[in-house]
Chain A
Amino acid sequence: MADARTLAGEGWRRALLDPKRFPIVIPVLAVVIALAAGFFAILATGKDPISGYAELALGGFGSRAALGETAIKAGVLLLTGLSVLVAFRAGLFNIGAEGQFIVGAITAAAAGHAFGGLPKIVALPLVLALVMIAGAVWGLLPAWLKVRRGVHEVISTILLNWIATYLVESWLVTGPLAARAVGAEPGTVSIAGTAEVGHGARLPRFVPQSRLDLGIFLALGTAALVWWLLARTAWGLEIRATGASPRAARAAGIPTGRRAFEAMGLAGALAGLSGALLILGTEFRYPGVFRTGYGFDGIAIALVGGLHPAGAAAAAIFFGAVRAGSMRLQLLGIHRSFADILQGLAVLVVAGHFALQALLLRLRGPDRPPAHAVPTAAPNPGGAS
């Protein structure tokens, strides 16, 4: 156990890096390392990293409009992050948030067009409910395949992402749901994408000169609800037990299969809601060319957020600001894909956090990560099937 070296100098450092005691340390380090790497990436292209980061901060937080953009992106990111998080806590790796997001988005576009003429108080809840149902169905498919047919959810959700993408973008958006010009010959497509969402189904905006809408508040409220569900209810305990050790959970009488269904249904509903936020808040239709990736971003939000709803909210606001701010980076000739690099690097550091611990603890002797350091205080669903 604790040898002299540990007691003398390494104790506090090791404790600080123990995700169970200080879950915030690894994610913060991941972001700092990503920012540092980004600094050198900008330097390597011959630009000025200091004014780069200044522009990034201005574009994320510098004005009312900037804050609005940050909030819009953060809301969308937070919900897909929560989707991945809920599934992860139940021991399932939801790579399918992307597909559930797309299914939610197309449902929002179709239902928003169909019911958009109704008063907002009726239309908005109705559309959001339909969206969550559709997302949940797309999330339940991999759960069913896992529990009943033994298909690993990582593979099935990847496949379902592409099935959703192709069926929506190469069929629904260009076919049955495509917008048609009023009074024109049937079949003539006037605008790429689906018909416009009616005003009743649009998210209300609050601040002049800003696109800030209800989305971020919905997302933050949902995060609080998810935290309460996971941390304060018996159901949440059973979900976490299912994720931590399915065998032990089954032995304790927890219906693990059923909990897996419920977690994936909730995950799908959350990712679907995220898609709805984008359609009902800013796009107002499912566009003809819709490069999302928000579902994959959700994986980053959940992991960099330490798999805690509050952490996910912080990560979503940070990366939302980076995304909004990266538009201003373009002024310096730095492409906005810089935001993606930061995000990918941060996830890479979280994935390799054992290496980080070893580096910071300057482990000598046997080259092994500390035995008590468990990955990010959570189950390991990508591992043993």
Chain B
Amino acid sequence: MSALASLGSLLRSVMDFAPPLLLAAQGGVLSERSGVVNIGLEGLMRFGAFFALLGAWATGSAWAGIGCGAAAGAAGALLHGWLSIRWRADQVVSGVALNLLSVGLVTFLLEAAFHTVGTSPAVTPLPPLRVDSIDAVPLLGPIVSGHTALTWAALATPFALHFVLYRTTTGLRIRAAGENPRAVATLGVSVAALRYGCVAGSGVLAGLGGATLSLAVLDHFDNQMPAGQGFLALAAMVFGKWQPLGALGAALFFAGAVALEESLQSSFPQLLDAVPKGFFLALPYMLALLLLAGFVGRAAPPAADGVPYDPEGR
């Protein structure tokens, strides 16, 4: 295999691995820019992955399944939002509760629906998109062809979110709600409404990320899902300095580390003897930690991130 072709297959793997992570990381950015910490991304992805599969299985339509996954993510996120915004719950505790609940609840439902705690039956996944004329292009064709519409939507999401956050009035208000909510309230804009919207949006994105796992990457739900991808999305959000495009870069980088590990395993197994697999797997987390510690440049969360807004406080 030529070097160029290996690079091509590597890029193709990145496009396979990145979307779930990418979507969830954008969800994290959206929620935290409005001032609500969302540790529950892992649980929301799990809900999204399971209910997407369940929806697709019940209706026979992958797109209906995707809708169910997004709705399940939004529902879970709204529970978290209701507790943190309306009842000023500790947002980390509430997010952890969501993660804990998702582990048991989804296993329980999987068993109730399919009488298994391993993998669900397979369904018809999202159809891959192919254009014959692009397929024919050497190198480029194999990279961009055969992905689902969800992959392309995932890749477009950071740009859309960037536009909303930095080029629209609503975006300015969202960012202000995360930095100085009192200033937003002074303008007569509801901080709670902004935050509810963003938390629900983060649930939709994380739910879609989960749905990507069960209906685009694979064609079934696996009880291991999302296997830490929600936590990795949090790391991508931090690594991307709480910015949509930064999180995109981080998610692509993390997906690249996984893709590299997989391609090395198949083409240079002897290298994995020298550098154990565990190091590749731990690499994204170590890099995020180094970044946070200021060794790779400083990153700071929004000033009011995680602080409940009390309209009558000082």
Considering the complex, which residues of chain B in the window 1-22 have a beta carbon less than 8 Å from any beta carbon of chain A?
Answer: none
A28-59, CB under 8 A of B: which get 1 and which 0?
00000000000001000100000000000000
**Contact between A156 and B281 (Cβ–Cβ < 8 Å)?**
no
Measured between alpha carbons, how far is A293 from B285 in the docked complex, in Å?
19
Measured between alpha carbons, how far is A167 from B98 in the docked complex, in Å?
27
Measured between alpha carbons, how far is A340 from B281 in the docked complex, in Å?
27
Chain B residue numbers with a CB within 8 Å of A145 are: 289, 292-293
Q: Could you tell me the distance in whole angstroms from the C-beta of A246 to the nearest C-beta in chain B?
A: 15
Is residue B246 within 8 Å, beta carbon to beta carbon, of the partner chain? no
Considering the complex, which residues of chain B in the window 253-310 have a beta carbon less than 8 Å from any beta carbon of chain A?
Answer: 276-279, 281-282, 285-286, 288-289, 292-294, 301, 305-308
Considering the complex, which residues of chain B in the window 29-57 have a beta carbon less than 8 Å from any beta carbon of chain A?
Answer: 37, 39
**Contact between B93 and A382 (Cβ–Cβ < 8 Å)?**
yes
Chain B residue numbers with a CB within 8 Å of A209 are: none
Chain A residue numbers with a CB within 8 Å of B276 are: 170-171, 174-175
**Contact between B112 and A45 (Cβ–Cβ < 8 Å)?**
yes
**Contact between A170 and B301 (Cβ–Cβ < 8 Å)?**
no
Is residue B104 within 8 Å, beta carbon to beta carbon, of the partner chain? yes
Is residue B150 within 8 Å, beta carbon to beta carbon, of the partner chain? no
Measured between alpha carbons, how far is A170 from B280 in the docked complex, in Å?
10
A337-360, CB under 8 A of B: which get 1 and which 0?
111111111011011111100100
Chain B residue numbers with a CB within 8 Å of A382 are: 37, 90-93, 306
Measured between alpha carbons, how far is A353 from B94 in the docked complex, in Å?
11
Please give me the residue from chain A that is nearest to B43 by CB atom.
A344
B89-119, CB under 8 A of A: which get 1 and which 0?
1111110111111111101100110000100
Measured between alpha carbons, how far is A174 from B90 in the docked complex, in Å?
39
Is residue B123 within 8 Å, beta carbon to beta carbon, of the partner chain? no
Is residue B228 within 8 Å, beta carbon to beta carbon, of the partner chain? yes
**Contact between B90 and A380 (Cβ–Cβ < 8 Å)?**
yes
**Contact between A162 and B231 (Cβ–Cβ < 8 Å)?**
yes
**Contact between B90 and A348 (Cβ–Cβ < 8 Å)?**
no
**Contact between B89 and A354 (Cβ–Cβ < 8 Å)?**
yes
**Contact between B94 and A344 (Cβ–Cβ < 8 Å)?**
no
Please give me the residue from chain A that is nearest to B231 by CB atom.
A158
**Contact between B282 and A163 (Cβ–Cβ < 8 Å)?**
yes
A347-385, CB under 8 A of B: which get 1 and which 0?
110111111001000000000110000010000111111
Measured between alpha carbons, how far is A252 from B88 in the docked complex, in Å?
29
Is residue B86 within 8 Å, beta carbon to beta carbon, of the partner chain? yes
Chain A residue numbers with a CB within 8 Å of B107 are: 335, 337, 340
Chain A residue numbers with a CB within 8 Å of B281 are: 166, 170
Name the contact of A337 in the complex, choosing from B94, B96, B117 (C-beta under 8 A): B117
**Contact between B104 and A352 (Cβ–Cβ < 8 Å)?**
no
Given A170-B281, A171-B279, A296-B100, verify A338-B108 contact (CB < 8 Å): yes
Is residue A131 within 8 Å, beta carbon to beta carbon, of the partner chain? no
**Contact between A351 and B93 (Cβ–Cβ < 8 Å)?**
yes
Measured between alpha carbons, how far is A175 from B279 in the docked complex, in Å?
12
Chain B residue numbers with a CB within 8 Å of A369 are: 87-88
Measured between alpha carbons, how far is A381 from B37 in the docked complex, in Å?
13
Chain A residue numbers with a CB within 8 Å of B108 are: 41, 335, 337-338, 341
Q: Could you tell me the distance in whole angstroms from the C-beta of A21 to the nearest C-beta in chain B?
A: 20
Max count, chain B CB within 10 A of own CB: residue among A166, A343, A384: A166
Chain B residue numbers with a CB within 8 Å of A341 are: 101, 104-105, 108
Chain B residue numbers with a CB within 8 Å of A338 are: 104, 108
Please give me the residue from chain A that is nearest to B300 by CB atom.
A150
Is residue B144 within 8 Å, beta carbon to beta carbon, of the partner chain? no
**Contact between B100 and A158 (Cβ–Cβ < 8 Å)?**
no
Chain B residue numbers with a CB within 8 Å of A381 are: 92
Given A155-B292, A171-B279, A347-B93, verify A384-B101 contact (CB < 8 Å): no
**Contact between B307 and A383 (Cβ–Cβ < 8 Å)?**
yes
Measured between alpha carbons, how far is A149 from B291 in the docked complex, in Å?
11
**Contact between B292 and A156 (Cβ–Cβ < 8 Å)?**
yes
**Contact between B292 and A351 (Cβ–Cβ < 8 Å)?**
no
Max count, chain A CB within 10 A of own CB: residue among B90, B231, B285, B292: B90
Given A145-B289, A375-B90, verify A293-B103 contact (CB < 8 Å): yes
Please give me the residue from chain B that is nearest to A297 by CB atom.
B100
Measured between alpha carbons, how far is A195 from B84 in the docked complex, in Å?
47
**Contact between B88 and A354 (Cβ–Cβ < 8 Å)?**
yes
Given A170-B281, A354-B88, A384-B307, verify A155-B111 contact (CB < 8 Å): no
**Contact between B286 and A343 (Cβ–Cβ < 8 Å)?**
no
Is residue A303 within 8 Å, beta carbon to beta carbon, of the partner chain? yes
Q: Could you tell me the distance in whole angstroms from the C-beta of A40 to the nearest C-beta in chain B?
A: 13
Chain B residue numbers with a CB within 8 Å of A380 are: 90
Is residue A169 within 8 Å, beta carbon to beta carbon, of the partner chain? yes
Name the contact of A340 in the complex, choosing from B103, B289, B293 (C-beta under 8 A): B103
Is residue A154 within 8 Å, beta carbon to beta carbon, of the partner chain? yes
**Contact between A159 and B278 (Cβ–Cβ < 8 Å)?**
no
**Contact between A167 and B279 (Cβ–Cβ < 8 Å)?**
yes
Chain A residue numbers with a CB within 8 Å of B82 are: 352, 355
Chain A residue numbers with a CB within 8 Å of B282 are: 162-163, 166-167
Nearest first, the 4 A-B pairs at minimum CB distance are A340-B104, A382-B92, A344-B101, A171-B278
11 pairs, CB–CB < 8 Å, chain A vs chain B? A151-B289, A160-B289, A163-B282, A163-B285, A166-B282, A167-B282, A169-B278, A345-B101, A352-B82, A382-B91, A383-B307
- Since A159-B289, A174-B277, A337-B107 are in contact, a sample of 12 more A-B pairs with Cβ atoms closer than 8 Å, ordered by chain A residue number, is A149-B292, A159-B292, A166-B285, A171-B278, A293-B103, A340-B100, A340-B103, A341-B101, A342-B104, A351-B90, A382-B90, A383-B308
Interfacial residues, chain B to chain A (CB-CB below 8 A): 37, 39, 79, 82-83, 86-94, 96-105, 107-108, 111-112, 117, 228, 231-232, 234-235, 238, 276-279, 281-282, 285-286, 288-289, 292-294, 301, 305-308, 312
Interfacial residues, chain A to chain B (CB-CB below 8 A): 41, 45, 93, 95, 145, 149-152, 154-156, 158-163, 165-172, 174-175, 293, 296-297, 299-300, 303, 335, 337-345, 347-348, 350-355, 358, 368-369, 375, 380-385
